[in-house]
Amino acid sequence: MEVYNDQVERTNTIREHVEEMFQKATDQILDRLSFMSVATERIKLAYSHDVDGVSLRGNTLYYEPSFILKKNIEDSNAPLRILLHTLCHAVFVHTFKYGRPTADLWDLACDIAIENLIIDLGIPDFALASDRELMQSRTDIKRYSTDMTAENIYRFFLTHPPSEEERAAYRKVFTRDTHYYHKTETGYEESLNIWQRISDRIKIELKVFSKNSGRGEIFMDNLNEATRPRYNYRKTLERFCKEHDGVSVSDDEFDYIYYTYGITHYDGMPFVEPMELTKGRNVKDYAIVLDTTSFCPAEVIKTFLRKTVDIIKSENRYSENVDFHIIQSDYKNNLTDTVLREMDDINAFIDGITGGFAGGSDFKPAFEYMEGLLYERVFSDFRGMIYFTDGFGTFPGKNPGYSCIFAFVTGRFKLPEVPWWVTPIVLDEDALS
């Protein structure tokens, strides 16, 4: 019994020591980042046998004491860095975004974004001896993804998946905590709402902090991206399909004899009213322009096309036919137009895609081409254009007169400035769900 009591006392002493480390780390964080107080006040510490390290769940930070002690021996700033890293996961609501089949890429993107943010804050008290290796790794990523938020890096990884060797190398330098509990957070609406309110509060306090210190801009960039409204591609495209749906007369069920007889002999009063259909039965035409980088994997393009065709087909199920003009634009702005109607032909076209297309820097040729088709009355009922692009291009100077969605499929954080007549949407996995 005495041995057992000694073990319990020793365990309690270790826990107290670790919690003292975290309290000291909290004080150091608030000394430099006062706006984080609303987040640190929310966090509770709890010991867990299940966690091999540190993991956040809701507002509870679960930790394994021996892990913290080992990290503290390696670098005295490690407890602070671990705490700040984990707090940022909560503030940027990273833990509530796990409805993705590629959760491993999301994990990696979150860790890279947070460590990049901490480095860019430039606060010596937060530094680790291993940061030199980290800075080299982030330089490699920054070559392709300049605005390094978690969402932006994740979108970049979707189109440029790192190899297993690269993932392992990134985890070695960017990982501070385990995401053991993150994958169970999706349904915690109450906890999500709390952290969203905390994020909104921090946004307000950051404005004052940035003016006084000049260090809050990168934090604000991450917060703005984390809290940016998301638009579901399916819902956007469904609205797009319905924009011009009008009411048409059913020629099969309407008797013109009785209608005209009443108009002629009874002061313009018809005997029967026309039967109405909510959907037209004519051929509807959609243009899908593919203008993406040569590094865009074939599977990304295939997923986009299948999803787009599926949504349009389902929204036009009362139409006899839907024609898809799939227009490919290369870096020289050469256009090829493949017109597809039957699903067998559409599937064959999609299956034949073997890689990305070379993106151009000018969107205008596709619009000029469409203008020619409209002038020649090629379409039976043109519904609009969906432009699949990396976002680097020049828009036409005028409204083309038809609906237009620009679907951006890169790792860019900031959307390009688009004309008022464009409906922009970023195609990450949330958008395509």
Cα separation values, 5 from 11, 65, 333, 403, Å: 10, 18, 78, 74
The answer to whether 382 and 116 are in contact (CB under 8 A) is no
pLDDT-based confidence at 28, cuts 50/70/90?
very high
The amino acid occupying position 179 is H
Whats the size of the chain, residue-wise? 433
Write down the pLDDT at residue 314: 83
- From first CA to last CA, the distance across the chain in angstroms is 58
Q: What is the pLDDT of residues 338-369, one digit of tens each?
A: 899 888 899 999 888 876 555 556 888 889 99
Identify the three-state secondary structure at position 73. helix
Of 420, 411, 369, 364, nearest to 390 by C-alpha is 411
Q: What is the pLDDT of residues 365-386, one digit of tens each?
A: 889 999 999 988 888 888 899 9
Higher pLDDT, 207 or 327: 327
Domain residue spans of the chain: 2-226, 233-245+282-432, 249-279
Beta bridge partners of residue 321, listed in sequence order = 283
Q: What percent of the chain has pLDDT over 90?
A: 16
Helices (runs of H) and strands (runs of E) counted in the chain: 16, 11
Query: Mean pLDDT of all residues in the chain?
Result: 78
DSSP-based three-state secondary structure for 385: strand
Local structure of 387: helix, strand or coil: strand
Pair 289, 327: CB distance under 8 Å: yes
**102 close to 167: Cβ distance less than 8 angstroms:** no
* Fold observed for domain 233-245+282-432: Rossmann fold (3.40.50)
Section 385-408 average pLDDT: 86
Q: How much is the average pLDDT of 296-322? A: 79
Distances (CA, A) of 46 to 30, 38, 39, 59, 180: 21, 19, 17, 10, 14
Cβ contacts of 159-163, under 8 Å, gap ≥ 24: 159/293, 159/295, 159/296, 159/297, 159/300, 159/409, 159/410, 159/411, 160/295, 160/297, 160/411, 161/105, 161/297, 162/108
Rounded Cα gap, residues 28 and 374, in angstroms: 65
Measured distance CA(380)–CA(363) in Å, rounded: 24
SS3 sequence of 292-339: CCCCCCHHHHHHHHHHHHHHHHHHCCCCCEEEEEEEEECCCCCEEEEE
pLDDT at 336 > cutoff 60: yes
DSSP 362: -
Task: Please tell me the distance from the alpha carbon of residue 106 to that of residue 199, in angstroms, as a whole number.
Answer: 20
pLDDT, tens digit, 9 for 90 and up, residues 174-218: 999 988 776 655 556 667 788 888 888 888 888 777 666 666 677
Q: 155 and 70 in contact (C-beta within 8 Å)?
A: no
Lowest mean pLDDT among 60-69, 262-271, 283-292, 302-311: 262-271
Closest CA to 425 of 271, 297, 311, 345: 311
User: Residue 277 has which token pair?
Assistant: 């259909």
pLDDT of residue 268 exceeding 70 = no
Q: Which residues 6+ apart lie within 8 Å of 402 measured at CB?
A: 370, 374, 382, 383, 384, 385
What pLDDT, on the 0 to 100 scale, is given for residue 86?
92
Dihedral sign computed on CA atoms, order 213, 214, 219, 220: positive
Give pTM, 2 decimals: 0.66
Q: How far apart are CA 404 and CA 206, in angstroms?
A: 37
Residue 413: both structure tokens together: 């954080």
Q: Strand 321-329 and strand 335-340: pairing?
A: antiparallel
Residue 268 Ramachandran class (φ > 0 left, ψ -120 to 50 alpha, else beta): left
Tell how far CA 92 is from the center of its chain.
Answer: 14
Nearest residue to 92 (alpha-carbon basis) of 172, 200, 178: 200
What is the spatial distance between Cα 218 and Cα 220, in angstroms, rounded to a whole number?
A: 5
Q: What integer is the mean pLDDT of 41-69?
A: 87
